[in-house]
Amino acid sequence: MNNQTTIFQSNIINAQNSVEFWKKSNKKFQDQYIPITIKDRLSNHSYLNSLNDTAKTPVIIKIVSKQAGSYQVKNTINYLTREDKKEEENLNLEDEQGRVYKNKDQANQLVEDWKKDFLSKERIKSQSWKVDANNKILKEYHALQSQINKQSNNPSRQQEEDLKLFKDQVENQYIIQTKIDPKTNKPVKKKISTKLRGVSDTTHIILSVGGKSDIDHATMATRHFLQNNFAANGFRFTFVAHNDTKNLHFHALIKNQNLFGKNLHFTKDDLFVLKQDYAHTLGEYGIQRISSLRRDKTQTLQKIHKNIENIRENKNWYQIQLKKRRDNSKEFTQEIQSQDEKIFTKEQKNMISFLKEQAKKLHFQIKQDKNSKSASIRQSQKVKQKKFLKSYIRLHLDDLKQAKKIIKIYQEGQDNQQSQKYQKNLVEIDKMLAKVKKVSRSQNLSM
């Protein structure tokens, strides 16, 4: 660390106030200027009078983005200093001690000096994909810018669109992913935020003076404002003026950790107080500006009031139209009902008689189907019975015939008395055979 920085730190330590720099509600300046808080603004006569002052331009202080890691910080500085433009268009940075950085190497040296207090990779491990995504967009943006510069700043229409998109992604920190919509099953493009939550090393803010003001006086006022509000509380910063638009504005990059280990943090009330101080500081350098919220301005309130009146008129008109539609709907419904009644009285008898005829036919058909089904079942049962009876009779006929053959064999060679006994058995068998044949004939069984 050089001697100049050591002196700066010692001066800060000696002047350090225990109250945070943005809590200024009790701070008094030499000219008795006291900023008001956002909740007390509408009870302050000075603030209410400024809302009707259309001659003065309001200042704007806006937090643009936050950066994590030296790569993002360097690329943000390159954007602020127009390093991607022609050399004659490059801008110089100035830090809290008034030192000027005229080229990229000097600006990178500033980042290296800040780098020792940057967050470690472990602190942002869960959000490392956001850092990688942002770095990838930055590389693509610079690659396309370099390609356009080689073409003598004569980009094609597609290159212009791509460059505009990359620039918007770099400034607002988001990527575009293509996903399949589950409802339509078609690819849709969605913006995915890559802003780091809760962790950052620097904060990029814009301070808009508005209009084409004297750039030298505006630069002195901005330097004074940043030194009083940031450097005086140990926060290092660098800033640059942009005067290539209709409104003069400054970009400031503030190191989030101050010399005392405290981190930079803004609330809406903080920004409101800072805007008042910035407008007051510009006034000290001859640039008359006001600080107000857009929603409090008379023109904004008039627009809101007009929109409310338009909404009421539209509401009344819609209510009238709705009433007409309802009345028409009632009349139409009644007309339809009367027509339906007429049609029903004419067609009612025909329809009832037709339904009765259909019911009779359906009943007769069901009865026929039932009878035919019963007949088929009975016929099937008869066939099964015949088959069973036929097989049963055939079995008994075979048994009787076999018994008759056996008796005849035993009858041979016997005396008359014994032969008569066998003869009686044969007679019985013949009777049984006659009965079986009679049964078979009665059942129409062909044996």
- pLDDT tens column, 247-269: 899 999 999 988 888 888 888 88
* pLDDT category of residue 442 using cuts at 50, 70 and 90: low
17 or 296: which leads in pLDDT: 296
In a domain, 50, yes or no: no
Q: Which residues lie closer than 8 Å to 350 by C-beta, 6 or more apart?
A: none
pTM: 0.54
Range list of β-strands (E), 201-323: 202-208, 237-242, 249-255, 289-290
Q: Which of 129-143, 170-184, 249-263, 362-376 shows the highest mean pLDDT?
A: 249-263
- Asked if pLDDT for residue 225 goes beyond 90, the answer is yes
| Closest C-alpha among 81, 59, 64, 108 to residue 244 | 81
In a domain, 438, yes or no: yes
Q: How many helices (H) and strands (E) does the chain have?
A: 10, 10
What local confidence, expressed as pLDDT, does residue 24 receive? 43
Q: Over the stretch 102-117, which tens digit does the pLDDT of each residue have? A: 888 888 888 888 988 8
Segment 37-51 shows an average pLDDT of: 73
In a domain, 95, yes or no: no
Domain that holds residue 317: 302-442
In a domain, 203, yes or no: no
- Asked if pLDDT for residue 439 goes beyond 80, the answer is no
User: What is the end-to-end Cα distance of the chain in Å, rounded?
Assistant: 129
| Closest C-alpha among 222, 230, 298, 241 to residue 270 | 230
- Asked if pLDDT for residue 22 goes beyond 60, the answer is no
Burial class (CB in 10 A: 0-12, 13-18, 19+), 444: exposed
Range list of β-strands (E), 285-389: 289-290
Q: Which residues lie closer than 8 Å to 75 by C-beta, 6 or more apart?
A: 138, 142, 170
Facing residues of 207 across strands? Answer: 61, 250
12 or 200: which leads in pLDDT: 200
What local confidence, expressed as pLDDT, does residue 320 receive? 82
- Asked if pLDDT for residue 223 goes beyond 90, the answer is yes
- Asked if pLDDT for residue 201 goes beyond 70, the answer is yes
In a domain, 345, yes or no: yes
In a domain, 186, yes or no: no
Q: Over the stretch 380-434, which tens digit does the pLDDT of each residue have? A: 776 766 676 667 666 666 666 677 676 666 666 666 666 666 666 667 777 776 7
| Distance from C-alpha of 401 to C-alpha of 394, rounded to nearest angstrom | 11
Number of domains in the chain: 1
* pLDDT category of residue 227 using cuts at 50, 70 and 90: very high
What local confidence, expressed as pLDDT, does residue 415 receive? 60
What local confidence, expressed as pLDDT, does residue 253 receive? 94
In a domain, 179, yes or no: no
| Distance from C-alpha of 275 to C-alpha of 273, rounded to nearest angstrom | 5
Burial class (CB in 10 A: 0-12, 13-18, 19+), 133: middle
Segment 127-149 shows an average pLDDT of: 81
Q: Which residues lie closer than 8 Å to 419 by C-beta, 6 or more apart?
A: 411
In a domain, 320, yes or no: yes
**Number of Cα atoms under 13 Å in the Cβ half of residue 307:** 6
Share above pLDDT 70 across residues of the chain, in percent, rounded to a whole number: 68
Q: What's the mean per-residue pLDDT of the chain?
A: 76
Burial class (CB in 10 A: 0-12, 13-18, 19+), 404: middle
Enter the tokens of residue 327: 């009345």
- Asked if pLDDT for residue 206 goes beyond 90, the answer is yes
Q: Which residues lie closer than 8 Å to 190 by C-beta, 6 or more apart?
A: 176, 177, 178, 179
